[in-house]
Amino acid sequence: MSSAEFIAEDRAPEGARPPSRLRQLAAASIGNAVEWYDWYAYSFLAVYFAEQVFPESAGNSLVPLLSTFAVFAVGFFMRPVGGLLMGAFADRRGRRAALTLTILLMGGGSLLVALTPTYAATGVLAPFVLVLARLVQGLSVGGEFAASTTFLVESAGPGRRGLFSSFQYVSTTVGQLLASGIAALLAALLTEQQMGAWGWRVAFLVGALLSLLGLWIRRGAQETLPEAPDSSREGPIPHAQGGSAGQRAGARPGLFEALRRHPRESLLICGITAGGTIAYYTWTTYLPTYAQVNAGFDKADSLTVGTLSLVFFALLQPLGGLLSDRIGRKPLLLGFSLGFAVLAVPLLHLVTDAFVSLLLVQCAGMVLLTGYTAIAAAVNAEVFPARVRAAGIGFPYSLTVALFGGTAPYVGTWFKEAGHADLFPWYVAALCLVSFLVYLTLPETARQKLAK
């Protein structure tokens, strides 16, 4: 059956308003970009507000910055909780309701960061407010992947699931670039003293305002879960989820139903994600620092290389998604994982203090990485049935990212401090090899209907 026939089967039922695929794509992508702008703005601006919120320890000026990044880590480990809670909410109340809630939480968290008082004015209340804001943001971003993944893939139809899936990482990268760009613009326009006093707050206020834009776009989206409480008002985007709402709504899924009834699939998500997340965070986040620490690369140049490679990476994603819709998911996953298992060590050893060397290494890794990132949303969504799809993806995915992706910079730095910097590339290669073995066991799902 052709992809056009698949899409035709996925159209709204007779009498329902035809869905706007572009509006659905915008609702997920723009909202996701705003989410990640808010998330990354914290790390880019921490150096400016650290001393405002945390007092310096006697004789150690690094204490405020270290404390600020400790709060960053706390937010990171809230992501599995968000994946579980927001995923279950998406399965019970609908994808659109969950997307609306996640962007409200992220916008509220950004506003709270912007309004965080200084330690000098309020004492311990200042770090308490910052921790609370970061917990809210961690909850939000953990739930965002679960909700937007299911929403994107369910909006697309089997013939375009790979293409729609690719916009998960397109929008994530756009959010990251927007955060770094606004932080750089503020730093260029304001003095160091102004940035420390109030300039950093502007970026978070911008994030809160952008969240309102994302909220407006998402409220106009159409529900993709037919039995959701509000699906009848907008008209669902049905796909391969047979059966009437009355037959399937019944008792709504419990919080741990996905883990209880689908333990194999939950472990599968962990195996699918492990290699992908370590490669992603190594190549998009840690590589500039790796080059500085291990090859003496210039700090400013490493940030320039990182920005250029992220733009290149964003442009690659739709191409990878389209390719997977033509040839299947497995060839891309196997190419990604085997490529990193074999090439991670030599690629990282090729990094020198030359601008071109880092640019080529980072872009080469981005090409391989696209085999995972462009289709991760589709592959994950194709593992679980609709009833528990969001929660089934959200918790194991976010937990694996927290364990292996979020810790990549710390593990790399630890190896360096222990005198074994050469072991980090092998660590990346080993996790990618584990995922390669998992991918070998996966059935090809590109041309199959989504599970009911």
Residue 389 belongs to some domain of the structure: yes
In a domain, 10, yes or no: no
Please give the tally of structural domains in the chain. 2
Among 188, 210, 227, give the residue marking a domain's end.
Answer: 227
pLDDT tens for each residue of 311-346: 999 999 999 999 999 999 999 999 999 999 999 999
- Please name the amino acid found at residue 227: E
Cα→Cα distances 271→84, 264, 266, 387, 410, Å: 18, 11, 9, 22, 21
The verdict on 213 and 261 lying in the same domain is: no
- What's the pLDDT band for 9 if we cut at 50, 70, 90? very low
**Inside any domain, residue 232:** no
Shared-domain flag, residues 207 and 152: yes
Amino acid at 169: Y
Question: Which two structure tokens, joined as six digits, stand for 315?
Answer: 């442009």
Q: Name the average pLDDT for the chain.
A: 83
pLDDT value of residue 177: 92
Mean pLDDT score, 418-426: 87
Is there a single domain that holds both residue 201 and residue 264? Answer: no
Tokens (6 digits) for 311:
């733009």
* Residues 196 and 268 placed together within one structural domain of the fold: no
Query: How many residues are there in the chain?
Result: 452
All residues at 6 or more sequence positions from 150 whose CB lies less than 8 Å from its CB, including other chains: 90, 95, 224, 381, 389, 390, 393
**Looking at residues 84-111, what average pLDDT do you find?**
92
Residues 141-160 pLDDT 10s: 888 888 998 999 888 866 88
Residue 250 banded pLDDT, cuts 50, 70, 90: low
**Cα atoms found within 13 Å of the Cα of residue 186, Cβ hemisphere only:** 25
Q: Do residues 128 and 199 share a domain?
A: yes
Among 210-219, 258-267, 374-383, 408-417, name the one with the lowest average pLDDT.
408-417
For residues 188 and 279, state if they share a domain. no
Residue 6 lies in a domain: no
Chain position carrying tokens 């060839």 = 331
Extended strands (E) in 220-323:
none
**Domain closes at, from 227, 247, 280:** 227
263-281 and 389-400 helices, crossing angle to 10°: 50
CB environment 229-260: b (16+ within 10 A), e (fewer): eebeebbbbbbbbeeeeeeeeeeebebebbbe
Q: What are phi and psi of 274, to 5 degrees?
A: -55, -55
The CATH number for 368's domain is 1.20.1250.20
Instruction: Give me the half-sphere count of Cα atoms (radius 13 Å) on the Cβ side of residue 188.
Output: 6
The yes-or-no verdict on residue 418 having pLDDT over 70 is yes
Q: Does residue 190 share a domain with residue 269?
A: no
Residues 402 and 326 in one domain: yes
Q: What percent of the chain shows pLDDT beyond 70?
A: 85
Phi/psi for 445 (5° steps) reads: -120, 5
- In a domain, residue 452? The reply is no
* Residue span of the structural domain in which 282 resides: 257-447
| Same domain, residue pair 214 and 270 | no
